Amino acid sequence: MPTTVDENLIGTYLDRAVAEFSENPLGARLIRRMAGQFPDLFLSAALKYLETRDESPAHRLLANAMLRHPLAYEEIADPARGALPRSITLFLRLWKVDPSFDVKLARRLPDRHGLNHCEAFDAARSYRVLDVLDETSTGRRLVPVLGHLIESADPRLAAKATLFIGKRIQSAEWAARQLTRNEPSVRANAVESIWGLKSPTAQTLLEVCAKDASSHVAGNALVGLHKLGKPGIVDQINSMVNGATHNVRSTAAWTMGRIGDSAFVDPLTELLRDDHPEVRGAALRSLLQIRKAEAAAPPVVEAVVPVVAERPADVPEVVAPVEAEKETVDIDMDIRLDGGLGGRFRYRQVG
């Protein structure tokens, strides 16, 4: 490798190593050497491969090399480095080669006793990490690691943690305890965490929360009741369109998008002309959600039943002649390909 190395040169070497990885045994050695000698340049060049969903032994080796880089966590946690889908893709890539990576990432958030606060992620990075883990972690594995964050002094972090923990616990009793909190976003996320929970306690809790003074809490409760099939919810949401405050109207628009019913297109279109920009923004996002869902839905094709006309009584029935039964004969043929490769093939001649 030349003594003068820059990002372009590392990128050129890496492209060739990845392209020839399965045929050239030196490819893996070159990747490890670049990752060890020029870690920052290597990571910058490797990200274009790691940000995709492509899978190969070369991609796995690149992910292993990235795990050893001190900026691996930053690439996932820092919102300035890319959008949430990119963070999720990188996380999944590293999680595949290190099954404990989700716990390691979660431990970068502020801990229960404040022992890691000098090294822990700041607020923006903590929000991103919780969003990534919420999209990817499916069990209760991380509940003991992150459970204390519901008590965070940061309302946004507490709200995100409440949704994360609540979705994995799925307990109406636990959600009810969070409703004693003063922060509306925490209470709203506690309500959202029991969406789909079919128990009398959950339904009663949602019915109570639908009358909450916070429009955010009430809107989440209405979505939950709609998911349970409770009648009259669409009418209640439509009544919020004419709410006295912009918070009520924007909540109505957001709720319509979460339910996704095409019946909301007209009221959402009306909300696009609202005086408040927050209401207009929520209405536009919900309309786009509904239109996207409609475009993705498979077309409904009605079955066509052929209509057979009845034969008039004075018209004689015409009976089609019965074809003579055809004889089938098995024939063996010796077929040779390219003059040298041959074999016997059998086909059935009908006649």
Q: Please report the DSSP string for 154-202 in residue order.
A: SHHHHHHHHHHHHHHH--HHHHHHHTTSS-HHHHHHHHHTTTT--SHHH
Which stretch of 41-45, 232-236, 318-322 has the lowest confidence by average pLDDT? 318-322
In sequence order, the 6+-apart residues with CB closer than 8 A to the CB of 233 are 222, 225, 226
Q: Where are the beta strands (DSSP E) in the chain?
A: 328-337, 341-350
Mean pLDDT score, 157-178: 96
Residue 294 has pLDDT above 80, yes or no: yes
Using one digit for the tens of pLDDT, what is the confidence trace for 122-159?
Answer: 999 999 999 999 999 988 999 999 999 999 999 999 99
Looking up tokens 């209470």 gives 187
Per-residue pLDDT at 7? 85
Asked whether the CA dihedral 40, 44, 46, 52 is positive or negative, the reply is positive
Decide: helix, strand or coil at residue 335.
strand
**What mean pLDDT value characterizes the chain?**
86
* Angle between helix 184-192 and 155-169 (nearest 10): 20
DSSP 321: P
Q: Which two tokens stand for residue 351?
A: 């006649």
Mean pLDDT score, 11-36: 93
Per-residue pLDDT at 296? 81
Per-residue pLDDT at 313? 58
Q: Which two tokens stand for residue 219?
A: 């809107």
Looking up tokens 């964050």 gives 149
Using one digit for the tens of pLDDT, what is the confidence trace for 172-186?
Answer: 999 999 999 999 999
Cβ atoms 96, 60 nearer than 8 A: yes
Looking up tokens 């009520």 gives 248
| Gap between the Cα atoms of 282 and 268, Å rounded | 9
Mean pLDDT score, 31-51: 95
In sequence order, the 6+-apart residues with CB closer than 8 A to the CB of 274 are 246, 249, 280, 283
Mean pLDDT score, 212-218: 94
Per-residue pLDDT at 334? 40
Decide: helix, strand or coil at residue 120.
coil
Cβ atoms 224, 206 nearer than 8 A: yes
Amino acid type, 309 = A
Domains of the chain, by residue range, sit at 1-69, 238-295
Residue 311 has pLDDT above 60, yes or no: no
pLDDT more than 90, % of the chain? 74
Per-residue pLDDT at 298? 74
| Gap between the Cα atoms of 259 and 281, Å rounded | 17
In sequence order, the 6+-apart residues with CB closer than 8 A to the CB of 111 are 117, 120, 148
In sequence order, the 6+-apart residues with CB closer than 8 A to the CB of 40 are 71
Per-residue pLDDT at 78? 97
State pTM to two decimals.
Answer: 0.78
Residue 112 has pLDDT above 60, yes or no: yes
Per-residue pLDDT at 279? 95
Using one digit for the tens of pLDDT, what is the confidence trace for 201-210?
Answer: 999 999 999 9
Confidence label for 316 from pLDDT (cuts 50, 70 and 90): low
Cβ atoms 164, 133 nearer than 8 A: yes
The architecture that CATH gives domain 238-295 is: Alpha Horseshoe (1.25)
Cβ atoms 109, 121 nearer than 8 A: yes
Q: Over the range 213-241, which residues count as b (16 or more CB within 10 Å of their CB) and which as e?
A: ebbbbbbbbbbbbbbbeeeebeebbeebb
Per-residue pLDDT at 114? 78
